[in-house]
Structure 1
Amino acid sequence: MVVGDVMLDRYWHGDTGRISPEAPVPVVKVNKLEDKAGGAANVAKNIAHLDGQVSLLGIIGDDEYGRTLQSLLIDEKIESQLVVQRDHPTIAKMRIISRHQQVVRLDLEDNFTQNHSQLLLDKLEKIIKEYDFVVFSDYNKGSLSLIKKMISVSKSASKTVLVDPKSKDLSQYAGADFITPNLTEYSAAGGQVGSEAIIADSAREIIKSAKIGAMLLTRSEQGMSLISADEKHDFSAQVLEVSDVTGAGDTVIATLSVMLAAGMPAKDAVEVANLAAGIVVGKLGAATVSPEELGRKLSQYLVETGEHYQAPFEDVLQHIEFARQSGEKIVFTNGCFDILHAGHVRYLAQAKAKGDRLVVGLNNDESIARLKGPERPINPLEERAMVISALASVDWVIPFGKLENNDTPAKLIEQVKPDILIKGGDYTVDQIAGADFVLANGGKVEVLEFLNGCSTSNVIKKIQQF
Structure 2
Amino acid sequence: MERDIINKLNNFKDKHILVIGDFILDAYVDTQCERLAPEASVPVLDITKTTYSLGGAANVAYNLEKLGSKVSLLTVLGQDDNSKKAIQLFKSNPQKSLYLHFSAEDQTLCKTRIHKDGQLLYRLDEGKHLTLENDQMDLFLKDLRELYLKCDAVYIADYNKGAIHYKVIDLLEELKSMVYKPIVIDSKNYLQYRNIQPCIIKPNYKEALELTHEKAHNDRIKQAPYLTDKLMEISKAKLVALTLDKDGVYVSRRNGSQFHIETCQVEVQNSSGAGDIFLSTLLLNHLVEIDDINAAKIACQAASIGIQKEATAHCTWEELKASLIQESGKVIINSENLAELVKIKGQDKTVVLTTGCFDIFHSGHATFLKQAKEQGDILIVGINIDESIARLKGPDRPVNTLMDRMEVLKALSYIDYIVPFGDQDDTPISLIKTIKPHVFVKGEDYQSTVTPEKKTLMSLGIKQVFIPLVPHQSTTKIINRVQGNTINLKKIG
TM over 0.5, shorter chain? yes
Cα distance in 2 for partners of 1:270, 1:408 equals: 39
1:344 maps onto 2:370 in alignment: no
Contact 2:199/2:239, CA 8 A, preserved across alignment: yes
The structure that has the greater radius of gyration is 2
| C-alpha spacing 1:429/1:157, structure 2 compared with 1 (3 Å) | farther
Q: 1:436 aligns with which of 436, 455, 467?
A: 455
Cα distance in 2 for partners of 1:169, 1:346 equals: 66
Instruction: Tell which deviates more after alignment, 67-76 or 129-138.
Output: 129-138
Q: 1:91 aligns with which of 89, 109, 115?
A: 109
| C-alpha spacing 1:202/1:372, structure 2 compared with 1 (3 Å) | farther
Once the two structures are superposed, the pairs formed by residues 135-154 of structure 1 within 5 Å of their partners are 135-146=155-166, 153=175
| C-alpha spacing 1:420/1:440, structure 2 compared with 1 (3 Å) | same
| C-alpha spacing 1:232/1:145, structure 2 compared with 1 (3 Å) | farther
1:221 maps onto 2:239 in alignment: no
Match of 1:232 in 2: 259
| C-alpha spacing 1:322/1:107, structure 2 compared with 1 (3 Å) | closer
Instruction: Tell which deviates more after alignment, 202-211 or 428-437.
Output: 202-211
| C-alpha spacing 1:246/1:420, structure 2 compared with 1 (3 Å) | same
Q: 2:399 aligns with which of 373, 378, 383?
A: 378
Pairwise CA RMSD: 4.2
Q: How far is 1:71 from its partner?
A: 1.8
Q: How far is 1:87 from its partner?
A: 3.8
* Matched letter for residue 187 of structure 2: P
Identity among equivalent pairs (%): 31
Contact 1:111/1:142, CA 8 A, preserved across alignment: yes
SS of aligned partner of 2:446: coil
| C-alpha spacing 1:132/1:205, structure 2 compared with 1 (3 Å) | same
Cα distance in 2 for partners of 1:393, 1:259 equals: 35
SS of aligned partner of 1:81: strand
Contact 2:325/2:338, CA 8 A, preserved across alignment: no
Instruction: Tell which deviates more after alignment, 112-121 or 354-363.
Output: 112-121
Q: How far is 1:177 from its partner?
A: 4.0
**TM-score under structure 2 normalisation?**
0.75
Cα distance in 1 for partners of 2:362, 2:243 equals: 42
Instruction: Tell which deviates more after alignment, 130-139 or 67-76.
Output: 130-139
1:305 maps onto 2:305 in alignment: no
Instruction: Tell which deviates more after alignment, 411-420 or 106-115.
Output: 106-115
1:123 maps onto 2:143 in alignment: yes
Once the two structures are superposed, the pairs formed by residues 54-453 of structure 1 within 5 Å of their partners are 54-77=71-94, 78-112=96-130, 120-146=140-166, 153=175, 159-167=181-189, 169=191, 172=194, 175-190=197-212, 194=219, 196=221, 199=224, 203=228, 206-207=231-232, 210-224=235-249, 228=253, 229-230=256-257, 232=259, 234-240=261-267, 242-254=268-280, 271=297, 273-289=299-315, 294=319, 298=322, 305-306=328-329, 309-310=332-333, 314-323=336-345, 326-389=347-410, 391-403=412-424, 406-424=425-443, 426-428=445-447, 431-453=450-472
Match of 1:455 in 2: 474
| C-alpha spacing 1:358/1:100, structure 2 compared with 1 (3 Å) | closer
Cα distance in 1 for partners of 2:385, 2:403 equals: 9
Q: How far is 1:278 from its partner?
A: 3.6
SS of aligned partner of 1:57: strand
| C-alpha spacing 1:415/1:143, structure 2 compared with 1 (3 Å) | same
Structure 2 gap segments, 5+ residues each:
1-17
- The answer to which structure, 1 or 2, has the higher relative contact order (CA under 8 A, 6+ apart) is 2
